[in-house]
Each structure stands twice: as structure tokens, then as C-alpha cells.
A and B are shown apart, each in its own frame.
Chain A
Amino acid sequence: MIGFLIRRILQALLVLFLVTVFTLALVHLFPGGPIRSLLGPRATPQQVAHYNQVYGFDQPFYVQYIKWVGQILHGNLGFSTKLNQSVTSLIAQDLPKTIVLVVLGTVVSLLFGIPLGLYQAVKRYTTGDYVLTGISFLGYATPTFFVALLLVEWFSIDVPLFPPFAPQGSTIGQILSDPRALVLPVAAYSFVLYALWSRYMRSSVMDNLVQDYVRTARAKGASERRVLWGHVFRNSLMSIITLLGLSLPTLVAGAIFIEVVFNYPGMGLAFYNAALNVDYQVLLGFTLIATLATIIGNLLADVGYAVLDPRVRYN
């Protein structure tokens, strides 16, 4: 187990190294290099050369890399000249709000996805199963932003129940103080995730229902209810827990679109604005943070799976 943990962490570190190299390489992709994109097309070559020297972009790639990683380790992710704010403080300001959206959306979608996926597996190939399958296929094929647009159209224009904008404000308190405005963003976010969980839960429960331990439980006279909730449900949940760890990229993508449609003041909206303003420090800083979260999520998913499932062997 310890050996597995060490190996897995070393792997994660190697991945992290590759990702950071790649991210820094992205900086040089910007048209004319990072300084040119900062100063604009009218800057003279002398000015560009000067700032390249100031920022160290004229040095060999590995020197730049070492300095850059050193900066990151000191918590310095760069400075947005467009916003006149450090990327770290921008993250500190926006990340909590995005976490509120992601956690609310994930919890709501799990509350629907897990029971309905279980229901589908137990009643497989019935009308109810087909209807729910249809809904989750819709969830797959529908872009997040279109779900959001439809909800605005239906529940804020046609029937003005909820405001079309997310709550505005700079603190979590202000966001949570307007729950009516949170309904549509959270609903749109959870619909797409619901499709993911319910499909996974359905196939996971179906896999578990034919296992030997289910037959054993039935043979020992356990009621169908006990078989389902005491045995199958618990074992099926395991794969959902690990799936959660692997779903961070999906969660991030969803958050970006939902925040743009509803003007929700989180990291996704800030990322979008940075894209429009070609604010590369923010783009790269945010990408790095999201990637780091993904790597940790994957690590936790693997380790969690190994801990939860005694059948997994560590070699």
C-alpha cells in the first residue's frame, strides 16, 4: 500500500512537471511573444526587447522555467496588467464563489442522479428506464450554455419566476443572500452533471446486481430491499466517489459556461474576460490552478479507489 502510494505520488509529480513545462511553453505561443501581446502592436522592437530582458524572456527556457516555478512556489502566479491586480488575489477573490456554485450544483445533481440511476438499473428496460435514459442522453448532447439559455427563456422571460442574472457581489455572503437568483444557474449546472452521474450509477448498479455476493445475500434470505440498499447501493456508490475525483475538468468547463450566461462573478467569468482581453497571465494562472486541482483529484480518486476496494492489488 505504501509502495503504491509513493509510486502514484511520483507519477503525479511527473505529470505536474510536464504540465508546468507545457503551460510555460504556452506563454511563448502568444503572437509575437508575451511582451508583444502585453504592449500591443505599436510597441517598438526596442521596447519589446527591453521588457523581454526585464521579465527574463530572453533567457534559455530552462532558466525561465526554474525562475517561474520558484515564483509559483512563493504563491506568485503573475500580475494582470489589464486588471491591475495580482492573479493570486484575483483567485482568492473569485474562487470561493465558484466553489459555492460547483458544490451546490454537484450536490443537487447527485441528489437526483444517484437515486434515479439506481431506479433505472432496478427497473431496467421498462418505460421509466427508457424515459430517464432519453433525458440523460439529452443531457449529454445539450451544451451547458444552451440548457442555461433555455432555462432563462422559460423561467425568466416566458414565466418570470427567477431573475436571468446570478446574484452579484464580491463575497460569498452576498451571493448566498439572494437564493432566488441562484436557482437557474444551479439548475442548469446540475442538469448536465445529472446525466453523468445517473448513467454511471445505472451501469454500476447493473454490474453489481449480477455479482456473486448478491446471490449469496439472496440465498441467505435477505430481503430485496436489504440486498439493494445494504449491499448493492454501497458498492455502487464507490465508483461514483472515484468518478467525482475524475470529473474536475467537467466541473470546470460547466462552471465557465454557466458563469458566462448568468454573469456569475466567479473564476469562470474572470477566465472568460481574460480571454476577451488577451490577459495571458490570468489565463495561464487559472489554467495552472485548475490543472493542479485535476491532478490532485485524480490522485485522490485512485487512492480512494484503492482504499475502498479491497480487491485492488498494488502492483
Chain B
Amino acid sequence: MAIMPGADPREVETPLFAPEAAEATEAGAAKPRGLLRRGWEVFAENRLALASLGVLVFMVLFCFVGPLIYHTDQVHTNLTDSLCPPSASHPLGCDNVGYDQLGRLMVGGQTSLEVGFAAAIVAVIIGTLYGAFSGFIGGPIDSFLMRIVDAGLSIPYIMVVVILSVVFHPDTVIMIFIIAVFYWLGVARLVRGETLSLRTREYVQAVKVLGGRNSRAVVRHIVPNAIGTIIVQTTFAIADSIIILAGLGFLGLGVQPPATDWGDMLSGGLQYLQSGTNYWWLIYPAGIAIILTCIAFNFIGDALRDSFETRLQRR
């Protein structure tokens, strides 16, 4: 029945930054190397991906180590500093209640990165297991399980997360589940597709013949062989989760104050832009942080897909 490719164009793209050197098979390959090692070689040839990895390391250090070096009060408001422009004492200025923007960027970044990572991992684990079991079992059960996925995916994602945020007034932990609770559906569909082709392989058939249980076939054979797709999907899921969290924060439905995230910081900027005043330091830092992080994850996802593409690997 599936006559359409996924709506996400990232899934159908031909590798864009395919390193051309990978075709050259060196005759002198001494000893066989593991999948991860060969994958890393392909990855390391992609300079964009390496730069992205650098950006991410920087972001993590900035958000989690930064506050240890650059001390700011992100709990108590300080109205005398309200909306002060960037200066020596506040390199990125202050927001409307006097929080130092640079320090806020670090604290907000912690939330964005933590929720992004955790939500993506929760969603990918659930989606992988669901999709793999559904595809492996097949028949009417698979058909029904996939209709549930279809139903979930036809509810516009943003509307669901908005409603759930209204209902639960989320803290960081609840936020992770709000984002994951519908995101796994897309992963499930993708992994199921992968499973359909894997389950006819001899080694999976062998498990059946040898009397192995379904769960063994799925967990020990199908999931490990789909791991490339799954890891790539995780990187995209992190980027998407960060953007969704930012969207909720921007709408004022994100984590509760005094916690913040990058999107929440942007919503402060909107009010002042609409009143016609140019408080640029309220929008550029947080916006650029979101974009850099998400582009980095997208590039890394692309490069990882090439890495797991065995045809591109040197043996």
C-alpha cells in the first residue's frame, strides 16, 4: 500500500556531500576493520561534518561548562538592569527583567540540549521497537499497528504538543515526554520499512527455523542491522526536538520560569520588536544558537548516513 516515499525529503535524498575518494579501493588494505572504524573514515573525510561536530562540542561546553566560568544570577530578576544594551559587564546585554543575556543563553541552552537529546532518544527507542515488531510480525496486526501510526501522524504535530503543554504545564522532564510522545510515530514508520526488507534475510529466517523467539529476532538481528538508519534518525530527531521546544517556548508554553530555553528567550524579543524598538540583542544570540545547533545536527546526520552506506566505505 505504501506508494509514497516519506514526506520528509531528508529520507529520499541522494547523499550530497559524498566523498568521491571513497571509490578508490586500495589494494594494500592490511587487515579488516570494524564497521565503526570504516564508517568513521568516511565521516572524517567530510569537512562539513567535522566542523559541525566542533560546533556541537563548543555548544555543549558553552552551556554546561560556561556557567562555571562566567557567573550570573539566573534566578533573581534585577530590574535596574532591564533591557540594558551590551556592555563590558553584560556582553550580550540584558532582557526585560534584567537577566544577563549571555548567562541566560547558557542556561537556556542547557534546557534546549537536554530536552532535545532526551526526547530524541526516548522517541527513537519507542519508535524503533514498535516499528521493528510491527514489520516483523506482519499481517493484519502490522496493518492495524500502522493505522495507529497513520492516525497519530495525521494530527498536526504542533497542535498536539501545544495542547499537551497547556494540559501539563511542563517542567523539563515532562517536556521530554510531550515532545517524544508523538515524535516516535515517524521513527516507527521508517524502521518498519527497514524491517520489511530485513525480515526476509536468511539470518533472520534462521532464527525462526532454530526456534528463536520473535523478540530475539527483533532485538538481536533486526535492530542491529537497521542501526544505521536509527542513528541517522536520532540526529535529525534531536534537531527537530530542539526546534519544537523552541517553538513551544516562543509561544510561552515551554518550560516554566525561571527555567528557560532558547525559544523562550526569543519570545521576549518579539514584544519589543512589535513596539518598534530595536533591542537586537534579544533576538540574535538565541536565534543564532538554535540555527547553529540544528544545522550541525543535520550535517552530522547527513554525514552519518554516508558513513553507514557500506558502498562508500573503503575495505
Residues in A lying within 8 Å of B, measured CB to CB: 7-8, 11, 14-16, 18-19, 22-23, 26, 29-31, 133, 137-138, 140-146, 149-150, 152-153, 156-158, 164-165, 196, 199-200, 203, 206-207, 239, 242-243, 246-250, 252-253, 256-257, 260-261, 263, 271-272, 275-276, 278, 280, 283-284, 286-287, 290-291, 294-295, 298, 301-302, 305-306, 312
Q: A18–B156 contact, CB under 8 A?
A: no
Q: A19–B155 contact, CB under 8 A?
A: yes
Q: Which residues of A contact B165 (CB under 8 A)?
A: 275
Q: B294–A140 contact, CB under 8 A?
A: yes
Q: Which residues of B contact A272 (CB under 8 A)?
A: 162, 251
Would A252 and B13 be within 8 Å (CB), given that A143-B247, A261-B270, A283-B163 are in contact?
A: no
Would A143 and B246 be within 8 Å (CB), given that A153-B283, A287-B155 are in contact?
A: yes
Of A138, A143, A199, A305, most buried by chain B (CB within 10 Å of CB) is A143
Of A141, A156, A284, most buried by chain B (CB within 10 Å of CB) is A141
Q: Which residues of B contact A19 (CB under 8 A)?
A: 151, 154-155
Q: B147–A149 contact, CB under 8 A?
A: no
Query: Chain B's nearest CB lies how many Å from the CB of A202?
Result: 8
Can you list 8 A-B pairs, Cβ within 8 angstroms, ordered by A? A26-B167, A141-B295, A143-B290, A145-B250, A199-B10, A257-B251, A275-B162, A305-B3
Q: B155–A246 contact, CB under 8 A?
A: no
Bound together, the chains give a CA A261 to CA B158 distance in angstroms of 16
Bound together, the chains give a CA A165 to CA B252 distance in angstroms of 20
Q: B290–A242 contact, CB under 8 A?
A: no
Q: A275–B274 contact, CB under 8 A?
A: no
Bound together, the chains give a CA A149 to CA B271 distance in angstroms of 10
Q: Is B12 an interface residue (CB 8 A)?
A: yes
Total A-B residue pairs with C-beta atoms closer than 8 Å?
A: 175
Bound together, the chains give a CA A252 to CA B156 distance in angstroms of 7
Would A141 and B160 be within 8 Å (CB), given that A272-B251, A275-B251 are in contact?
A: no
Q: Is the interface of A mostly helix, strand, loop or mixed?
A: helix
Taking a contact as CB atoms closer than 8 A, the residue among A15, A143, A253, A286 that contacts B150 in the complex is A15
Q: Which residues of B contact A284 (CB under 8 A)?
A: 163
Q: A253–B156 contact, CB under 8 A?
A: yes
Q: Is B159 an interface residue (CB 8 A)?
A: yes
Number of interface residues of B (CB under 8 A): 56
Q: Is B58 an interface residue (CB 8 A)?
A: no
Chain B residues 116 to 169 lying within 8 A of chain A, measured CB to CB, are 147-148, 150-160, 162-167
Proximity bits, B159-185, A CB within 8 Å = 1, else 0: 110111111000000000000000000
Taking a contact as CB atoms closer than 8 A, the residue among A16, A138, A263, A291 that contacts B291 in the complex is A138
Q: Is the interface of B mostly helix, strand, loop or mixed?
A: helix
Bound together, the chains give a CA A310 to CA B152 distance in angstroms of 30
Bound together, the chains give a CA A165 to CA B270 distance in angstroms of 12
Q: A141–B4 contact, CB under 8 A?
A: no
Q: B9–A203 contact, CB under 8 A?
A: yes
Proximity bits, B1-37, A CB within 8 Å = 1, else 0: 1011101011011101000000000000000000000
Q: Which residues of B contact A29 (CB under 8 A)?
A: 164, 167
Closest B residue, CB atoms, query A206: B14
List of 6 A-B pairs having minimum Cβ-Cβ separation, nearest first: A18-B151, A141-B294, A253-B158, A246-B7, A249-B156, A141-B295
Query: Chain B's nearest CB lies how many Å from the CB of A68?
Result: 16
Bound together, the chains give a CA A137 to CA B303 distance in angstroms of 14
Would A11 and B147 be within 8 Å (CB), given that A141-B295, A203-B13, A247-B7 are in contact?
A: yes
Q: A22–B162 contact, CB under 8 A?
A: no
Q: B155–A302 contact, CB under 8 A?
A: no
Taking a contact as CB atoms closer than 8 A, the residue among B14, B156, B247, B299 that contacts A294 in the complex is B156
Q: B253–A275 contact, CB under 8 A?
A: yes
Q: B156–A14 contact, CB under 8 A?
A: no
Bound together, the chains give a CA A275 to CA B160 distance in angstroms of 11
Proximity bits, B257-283, A CB within 8 Å = 1, else 0: 000000100100110011011101001
Closest B residue, CB atoms, query A276: B252
Closest B residue, CB atoms, query A260: B251
Q: A252–B159 contact, CB under 8 A?
A: yes
Query: Chain B's nearest CB lies how many Å from the CB of A142?
Result: 5
Would A253 and B157 be within 8 Å (CB), given that A18-B148, A133-B16, A203-B13 are in contact?
A: yes
Bound together, the chains give a CA A256 to CA B291 distance in angstroms of 20
Q: Which residues of A contact B269 (CB under 8 A)?
A: 149
Would A291 and B16 be within 8 Å (CB), given that A157-B276, A276-B252 are in contact?
A: no
Q: B247–A164 contact, CB under 8 A?
A: no
Taking a contact as CB atoms closer than 8 A, the residue among B10, B153, B158, B166 that contacts A278 in the complex is B166
Closest A residue, CB atoms, query B239: A141
Of B163, B239, B295, most buried by chain A (CB within 10 Å of CB) is B163
Query: Chain A's nearest CB lies how many Å from the CB of B203?
Result: 29
